[in-house]
Structure formats: structure tokens, C-alpha cells
């Protein structure tokens, strides 16, 4: 080998070594990529996504990095759902997210290969649980920065919060500022903005600063609003003006003057469960009835479903928006200043039997639900991030007005007033319910009455028998159903009958379908529940139900309603 050849080989070897030192190997490049952890966090007053690195729901990562969502700090199930872009600087996910995890469940991992701004949410708790992943190319554009100040973070209804972004861009790009105050209204697009809320609750104020070239800065601020809602607060739609079924209630119904009593207007809304949103072929026969009853210091919810997946556990929740609006929106909460959790919500979940039936599911909560409890959503048993069934609860209760006449010359308002009867006597208290605002205000009303017997304070002579008060009040019939179109040819006909004074015997309950008395009627006297299911399929079309009840004193009550069996 010549000396020239040896020299060339040495030079080539040195160049090869230099290049190997200058260029990272694939293993070195992989080592530079990192994983960012985001936790689902449940606390008594809040629910949120929390980045271990940033302490917020926003993480800024490099192309090739991975985000890992963990559920070790969760106390309830959460879904992880990707969001479609709502602003020009947001990005479409390469592969949409639709995952669900129970507390302590396996993490969800996603590696990001393209720069962009990707938003996600827990749709069950979407009013407070949204997050953002900002993916940047290290050699490209620099994201804008901000030093935001939002104050105060605790205000009363109608009091303003001041928000200042103080946004800049290291590349000198013109920045666009967006303040979202979490109340459903339009965003503000100025560096300094003000906002006042019309209703109490916990709100998330979100700042977004964009440089128009893919760079984004985002910050979240939690605001607590206290006090009473202002008049004119937006409420759910009120259907066609129909009014719900009502029942007047009182406790105690008898006593000695002066007698203080607690009245209540029981309001019943119902809905039919139908396949919905992400329903699969196996959910095509999903059918059923949901009932929600509001009364003083209590909300009763029942659900009866057929056509469900046999043997599967179906998560079910009451939601705050109609089925057609944001797939039912988030879970309904009794107290919006508290976090999402089972004690603050209504969960009529069930496990279907071998025939796909839920059986009667009943949930009672020690609080009266507000008007935002408007739908019942059934979730996919294998992935509760998906929603397969929904029932709109109707008629709506958002703008109901309650007017009471207590029978002694006094009047009152509100669903659940208190009253004191000063003198002995038998009084008939009547509540009248109508639409208090909107297009249907003043058009129609429903009323119901309840009797209060007030005795005197004097003790009758021993030789006189105690005075008796004749029972002249008929039984009350409520919670009737079905009342609309049903998909099954063997629907369960149901009602509730109550008579606190004299009681009702089984033989005094008569149910007729299309004029014929039905056999095999079920009557639970303790709970006042009447149920009957036809042994054979009913013909398609309209059917008429009539229920007649007599109490032990001979007082009679009757109720007629109709439903239709779909073809």
C-alpha cells in the first residue's frame, strides 16, 4: 500500500469520527424527547387538569414530546375528549381523543408530531375541566409572552373583575389577545378587559395570546362569584309553553293552633330515552322513561330502560343542557360553587339484566333541583366518554311562577313557602303555577290544593267524645306514564296514588286500557306505586289509560292519559 493511500485512509477516518461527534444518533435524539404529566384533580370545591410542570392546565412542549394524562389524583371517573378548533390558531388533532378512566386508571399517552395548539376537555365536567397542549418547533417561531393580572378573584354577583394581559412577543410580532370569562358570552379582545357575572358559581377566566404564526400563550384564573342570581339570568328553553304536573303538599297537615306548616309544590317532569350521539348498532332498541320530581328539600329521579346492553353497567347522569345542545353538556350540579362529585349530582346508573332491562332505578337527593336539570344521559358501558342515550325532561321549569292562597285570607309566593295558622279551622290551601316570563307568560296555569286541619287549644270535657273531622279530600294521582310515544309494544303503565287521611286498599284501585279493566295490576300501598305491564304486545297507535281510585272514606279520584306505540 502506498504512503498516499495510507494518508487518505487516515483523513477519511478522522472525518468520519468528527461527523459522528457532530451529529446526534437516533438514540440521542430520542433521549432529548420528554414526557409531560397532566393530572385529573378532584377537590371538594373544584375539578381541573393540572400539569406537574406548569401548575396549570396548559403545557408547552416540543415536537416529538409526549403528554401523559394520569388519574391518580381523581376521586371519580373522567373522560378525555379532544376539542375541534374554535379559533384560527387552534389545530385539528391527528387522531381524536375519546377515552374514559376511573380513579387510578391507566394513563392516556399521546405523542405530538406536528406544531400547533391542541385543546381537550372532560366533557362530563366541561365547565371547569379544559386544557391545552401547545406544540412548538424549537428552531421556529417564538411564542408570545404575558404577565397577566386578574383581580379580585372573589366577587359578588354584578361586581366587576379587572383582567390585564400585558402581552408581548419576543420576535416583534403583533399579538392578538382574547379574554374568555367562562360565562358563555363573547370574548374580549383588548389587553385590559372587565367582566361581571349575573349568577353565582365558580368560573374559569382564560387568557389566550397569539402571534398569528402558531405561537400561543395561555393562562387560566379561577373566579368565585357569590350572592343571588340577578333577574333575567339566561335559562334553558321552555319548550312550547306546556306546564308540568304539580302536586300541593304540606307538613304537618293537622295540629293545634297556632300551627306552623311547611308547604311544597311538587313538580314532575318526564322524558323518553332514545338512542343518541355515539349510539352503536347494538343500541338501536334503547328505549325507556326518565322521571324527575322536585319537591321541598328533595329531588326524586327514576329511570326505566329496555334495549340496553345485557349484563353491562351503564353510567347515567342528569345533565344541564338539552340532548340537542352540546350532547347534553356537563353534569347538573345542585350547588355550582362546589365541584363535580356524586353528592352534588344525580347518578341513576344501572346494570342491565340478561334481557337488557334496567329495572326501576330510583335516586333520591336531599335537595331541590334547580331548573338546569333538563336531561338524562346514558353513557357507553365500555367507554363512558361516549353518549348512547338521552331523554329531555319536559316541560321545562326555568320560568315557573308560584302563587299560593292559604285559605285563611293570606297569600304567598315561591315553590315552598311557610305559613302559620292562628285560629282553629279546616283550611284549603291552593297553589297556582304559571309561566312567569317569556313568550308564554300569562297563558295558562295549573293548580292543586291540599287541606290543613287546625284544632283548638282547649281540652274537651271527658264526657264528650273527641271531635272527628270527616275526610272529604280525594286521593291524589301523580307521576302518570307513559304520556308520549314509546318504542316498545309492552310499555310499563305507572302512576302514584296518595291519601294520607284514610288510605287506599288494593281492590279500590282500578286501571283500564282502551276501556277494558286490566288484570294483574301491581299496587305497592306503602309507597303508593301503581304499575302494570301488558302480557301481550299492544297494537301500534294511540292508547287511552284511565285510573280510578277510592280511599277508605269513599272519596274518588280519576286520571286519564294517552300514549302512542310506534310502528
Number of domains in the chain: 4
Same domain for 251 and 148? no
Note the pLDDT of residue 237: 42
Note the pLDDT of residue 376: 96
User: CATH number for the domain including 196?
Assistant: 2.60.40.10
One digit per residue, pLDDT tens: the chain, 567 residues?
444 343 334 334 433 443 333 333 334 444 478 899 999 999 887 889 999 888 888 898 888 999 999 999 999 999 999 998 887 678 899 999 999 999 999 999 999 998 888 999 998 887 778 899 988 877 667 778 899 999 999 999 889 899 998 988 888 877 888 888 887 677 888 889 899 988 888 898 988 888 766 677 888 899 999 988 765 443 444 445 588 989 999 999 999 999 999 999 999 999 999 998 888 999 999 999 999 999 999 999 999 999 999 999 999 999 999 999 988 989 999 998 888 889 999 999 999 999 999 999 999 999 999 999 999 999 999 998 899 999 999 998 988 999 999 999 999 999 999 999 999 999 999 999 998 765 556 667 889 999 999 998 644 545 555 555 677 788 888 888 998 888 888 999 999 888 877 788 888 899 988 878 888 889 888 888 999 999 888 988 888 888 988 888 888 888 888 888 887
Same domain for 423 and 282? yes
User: Does residue 10 lie within any of the structural domains?
Assistant: no
Same domain for 271 and 402? yes
The reply to whether the predicted model has a pTM over 0.85 is no
- Confirm if 167 and 175 have CB atoms less than 8 A apart: yes
Report the DSSP pairing between strands 145-146 and 167-168: antiparallel
User: CATH number for the domain including 536?
Assistant: 2.60.40.1220
Report the DSSP pairing between strands 259-275 and 516-517: unpaired
Domain that includes residue 37, residue range:
33-139
Same domain for 337 and 213? no
User: Does residue 21 lie within any of the structural domains?
Assistant: no
Note the pLDDT of residue 493: 92
Distance CA 554, CA 474 (A): 8
Note the pLDDT of residue 238: 41
Note the pLDDT of residue 465: 55
User: CATH number for the domain including 74?
Assistant: 2.60.40.420
User: Does residue 306 lie within any of the structural domains?
Assistant: yes
Cα separation of the two ends of the chain: 96
Residue of 211, 278, 255 whose CA lies nearest to 456: 255
Same domain for 302 and 318? yes
- Confirm if 78 and 71 have CB atoms less than 8 A apart: yes
User: Does residue 7 lie within any of the structural domains?
Assistant: no
Same domain for 507 and 553? yes
User: Does residue 567 lie within any of the structural domains?
Assistant: yes
Same domain for 502 and 524? yes
Same domain for 300 and 228? no
Q: Which residues pair with 66 in a beta bridge?
A: 35, 111
- Confirm if 426 and 451 have CB atoms less than 8 A apart: yes
Same domain for 67 and 146? no
Residue that finishes a domain, picked among 403, 423, 458? 458
User: Does residue 6 lie within any of the structural domains?
Assistant: no
Same domain for 326 and 264? yes
Rounded to 5°, the CA angle 418-422-425 comes to 100
User: Does residue 540 lie within any of the structural domains?
Assistant: yes
User: Does residue 106 lie within any of the structural domains?
Assistant: yes
Residue that finishes a domain, picked among 234, 269, 302? 234
Q: Cα separations (Å) of 6 from 13, 15, 16? A: 11, 14, 15
**SS3 sequence of 58-107:** EEEEECCCEEEEECCCCCCCEEEEECCCCCCCCCCCCCCCEEEECCCCCC
Q: In what order do the strands lie in the sheet with 425-435?
A: 254-256, 445-455, 425-435, 400-405, 411-413
Note the pLDDT of residue 439: 58
**SS3 sequence of 281-308:** HHHCCCEEEEEEEEECCEEEEEEEEECC
Same domain for 432 and 319? yes
Note the pLDDT of residue 3: 47
Same domain for 207 and 65? no
Amino acid at each position: 500500500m502506498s504512503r498516499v493511500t495510507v494518508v487518505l485512509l487516515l483523513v477519511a477516518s478522522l472525518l468520519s469520527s468528527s461527523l459522528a461527534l457532530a451529529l446526534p444518533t437516533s438514540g440521542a435524539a430520542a433521549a432529548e424527547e420528554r414526557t409531560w404529566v397532566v393530572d385529573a384533580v378532584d377537590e371538594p370545591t373544584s375539578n381541573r387538569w393540572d400539569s406537574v410542570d406548569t401548575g396549570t392546565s396548559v403545557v408547552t412542549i416540543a415536537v416529538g414530546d409526549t403528554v401523559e394524562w394520569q388519574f391518580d389524583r381523581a376521586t371519580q371517573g373522567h373522560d378525555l375528549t379532544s376539542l375541534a378548533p374554535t379559533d384560527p390558531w387552534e389545530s385539528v388533532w391527528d387522531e381524536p381523543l375519546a377515552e374514559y378512566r376511573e380513579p387510578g386508571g391507566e394513563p392516556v399517552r399521546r405523542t405530538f408530531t406536528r406544531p400547533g395548539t391542541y385543546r381537550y376537555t372532560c366533557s362530563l365536567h366541561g365547565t371547569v375541566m379544559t386544557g391545552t397542549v401547545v406544540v412548538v418547533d424549537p428552531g421556529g417561531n417564538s411564542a408570545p409572552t404575558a404577565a397577566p393580572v386578574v383581580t379580585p378573584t372573589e366577587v359578588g354577583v354584578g361586581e366587576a373583575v379587572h383582567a390585564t394581559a400585558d402581552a408581548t412577543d419576543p420576535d416583534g410580532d403583533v399579538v392578538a389577545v382574547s379574554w374568555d370569562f367562562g360565562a358563555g358570552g363573547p370574548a374580549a379582545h383588548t389587553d385590559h378587559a372587565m367582566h361581571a357575572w349575573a349568577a353565582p358559581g365558580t368560573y374559569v377566566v382564560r387568557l389566550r395570546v397569539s402571534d398569528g404564526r402558531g405561537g400561543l400563550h395561555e393562562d387560566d384564573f379561577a373566579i368565585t362569584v357569590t350572592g343571588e342570581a340577578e333577574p333575567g339570568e339566561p335559562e334553558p328553553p321552555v319548550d312550547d309553553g306546556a306546564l308540568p304536573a304539580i302536586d300541593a303538599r304540606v307538613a304537618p297537615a293537622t295540629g293545634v293552633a297556632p300551627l306552623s306548616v311547611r308547604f311544597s309544590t311538587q313538580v314532575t317532569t318526564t322524558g323518553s330515552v332514545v338512542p343518541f350521539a355515539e349510539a352503536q348498532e347494538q343500541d338501536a332498541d334503547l328505549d325507556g322513561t326518565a322521571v324527575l320530581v322536585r319537591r321541598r328539600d328533595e329531588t326524586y329521579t327514576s329511570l326505566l330502560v329496555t334495549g340496553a346492553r345485557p349484563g353491562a353497567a351503564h353510567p347515567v347522569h342528569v345533565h344541564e343542557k338539552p340532548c340537542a345542545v352540546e350532547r347534553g353538556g356537563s353534569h347538573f350540579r345542585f350547588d355550582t360553587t362546589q365541584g363535580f362529585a356524586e353528592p352534588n349530582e344525580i347518578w341513576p346508573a344501572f346494570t342491565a339484566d340478561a334481557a337488557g332491562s334496567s329495572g326501576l332505578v330510583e335516586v333520591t337527593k336531599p335537595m331541590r333541583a334547580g331548573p338546569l336539570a333538563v336531561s338524562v344521559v346514558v353513557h357507553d358501558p365500555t367507554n363512558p366518554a361516549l353518549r348512547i342515550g338521552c331523554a329531555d325532561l319536559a316541560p321545562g321549569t326555568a320560568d315557573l311562577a308560584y302563587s299560593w292562597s292559604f285559605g285563611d285570607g293570606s297569600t304567598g309566593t315561591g315553590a315552598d313557602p311557610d305559613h302559620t295558622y292562628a285560629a282553629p279551622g279546616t283550611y284549603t290551601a291552593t297553589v297556582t303555577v304559571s309561566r312567569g316570563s317569556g313568550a308564554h307568560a300569562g297563558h295558562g296555569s295549573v293548580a292543586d290544593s291540599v287541606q290543613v286541619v287546625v284544632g283548638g287549644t282547649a281540652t274537651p270535657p271527658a264526657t264528650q267524645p273527641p271531635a272527628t273531622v270527616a275526610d272529604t279530600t280525594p286521593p291524589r294521582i301523580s307521576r302518570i306514564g307513559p304520556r308520549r310515544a314509546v318504542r316498545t309494544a309492552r310499555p310499563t303503565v305507572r302512576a302514584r296514588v296518595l291519601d294520607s287521611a284514610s288510605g287506599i286498599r288494593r281492590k279500590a284501585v282500578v286501571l283500564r286500557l282502551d276501556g277494558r279493566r286490566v288484570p294483574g295490576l301491581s299496587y305497592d300501598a306503602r309507597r303508593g306505586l301503581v304499575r302494570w305491564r301488558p302480557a301481550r304486545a299492544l297494537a301500534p297507535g294511540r292508547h287511552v289509560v284511565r285510573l280510578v281510585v277510592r280511599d277508605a272514606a269513599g272519596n274518588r279520584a280519576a286520571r286519564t292519559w294517552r300514549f302512542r306505540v310506534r310502528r
